[in-house]
Amino acid sequence: MDKATNGTYPSSEVTANGGRGLSKSTGTIYQYTVDGDNYYLSATSTAAGSSASYISSVTGTVMDGVWSEHLAPGQSPWQRVAVGDYHACGIGSNGLGYCWGASNRIGNNTGAGSLVPTPIYTSGPLNGKTLVDIRASQDHTCALTSEGLAYCWGSNNQGWLGNNTTSGPDSPTSLYMTGALNGLTIKKIASQYYHGCVVASDDNVYCFGRNVEGQLGNGNNTQSNAPVAVDRSGVLSGKTVKMIADGRSYAHTCVIASDNKGYCWGWNYAGQLGNSSAVDSNVPVAVNMTGVLSGKTLKTIVSGQGHTCAIATDDLLYCWGNYAVGSSTSPAAVTTGLLSGKTFTFLAAGENSTCAIASSGSAYCWGQNNGGQFGDGTTTGGNPTAVDMTGALSGKTLRSIATCSTHTCAVASDNKAYCWGQNNAGQLGDNSTSVSLVPVATTTLP
């Protein structure tokens, strides 16, 4: 129970009445914190200049004509965050989207950038909708609503917004839902550097955007501004798709299918398809599940520019391609140095780097660190290094993490967002443009 400190008005500390609420009492202000300090209840009297009372509840119940949902003062709860080259976005506990960073990519319908989280434009197609997922890449972002619709915004030079044009608005525009997606809804989304993909309600994959390297997986190399079905006549025959790799892939796509094995397609210059080859493929190929992955299946998969990583059923890390620690055209176990003996719960791929959260809640990054995206206080890359968990993250653990070219963001156990790395466009969201080589707290939600 937190004692209220609103001005000099009377305050008292009381029990929450078994969750049934508190009666209003003249001259007092009641306040208590609930659900991980995310919400609060306060009752203000006419002595405080107002008869309004506020309650937060999962149902959003309105009572007495003046009850409504409010966030606790100073709280900034996030469900998840996503990062692009010079921007970042997240979903608040209210189901609304917020972005910050460079201009023309944060979805605020003005074209202006922001040094702090700013609401995504909701007077258009997102009006009244709740976001359940958000993914960002180079200079664009896509979000998924609770009703199974996808909306994207930002640049769109080669059709990677999937709206059947190459026009890139700075406000959400709907994914083209006729053609291949006619009659379907969307279950999962992924935004990559030059293309995007979704898993639809038929549990199949549809991709859109650039296709020079075959990253759309439909058997040709022709750009498509609208979603096209990934080829299911070969290794994906008879299978459905459970997960699409998120990350910072330039030109390849990977998924986990219903058999819990990995399948990839597209650019393969560094062996990032994981099929023991370095030959591009414009249709899905099977990841080599022999060797270190023999007898195992995959739980999650992510993709960078020229590498792919996964967490297997043993909760260990396996990577293939460039900047993957043990680079190879086939999966290799990542147990180097600080990662030895650890198991993992979350994985994120940047352009040429990877970050993972261990079961302890600490994070580790490896690969390139030219922008300070490791969060270890340096710009030295290479083998796995620990993200600095002192300072802003002292006493906290990490729940999720997202990384891109030169900065990284994470959601911690206090449900707040923390970012680190380059900040020339305000992509750390801390109301500055100062680089930070260690985590800093993102400004609280408006």
3-class SS of residue 114: strand
d(CA 215, CA 226): 14
User: In the structure encoding, which two tokens stand for residue 444, read together?
Assistant: 């609280």
Residue-wise pLDDT for 166-190, tens only, equals 998 899 999 999 999 999 999 999 9
What pLDDT is recorded for position 93? 87
Identify the CATH number of the domain defined by range 78-441.
2.130.10.30
Residue spans of the domains in the chain: they are 1-75, 78-441
Using a pLDDT cut of 90, give the percent of the chain over it: 78
d(CA 187, CA 240): 13
- Pick the more confident residue, 58 or 331: 331
Greatest CA separation for the chain? 76
* Residue 322 in this model has a pLDDT that exceeds 70: yes
Q: What is the mean pLDDT of residues 403-410?
A: 96
324: pLDDT confidence band, cut at 50, 70 and 90?
low
User: In the structure encoding, which two tokens stand for residue 83, read together?
Assistant: 């990062």
- Pick the more confident residue, 198 or 19: 198
Cα three-residue angle 406-162-98, rounded to 5 degrees: 50
Close Cβ partners of 76 (under 8 Å, ≥ 6 residues apart): 92, 415, 416, 417, 442, 443, 444, 445
* Residue 148 in this model has a pLDDT that exceeds 60: yes
What pLDDT is recorded for position 446? 77
Check if the beta carbon of residue 423 is closer than 8 Å to that of residue 435. yes
* 339-to-14, 160, 350, 364 alpha-carbon distances in Å: 48, 35, 18, 8
What pLDDT is recorded for position 70? 40
Q: Which DSSP symbol is given to 400? A: E
4: pLDDT confidence band, cut at 50, 70 and 90?
very low
Q: Say which amino acid occupies 354.
A: T
Q: In Å, how far from its chain's centre is CA 126?
A: 18
* Residue 312 in this model has a pLDDT that exceeds 70: yes
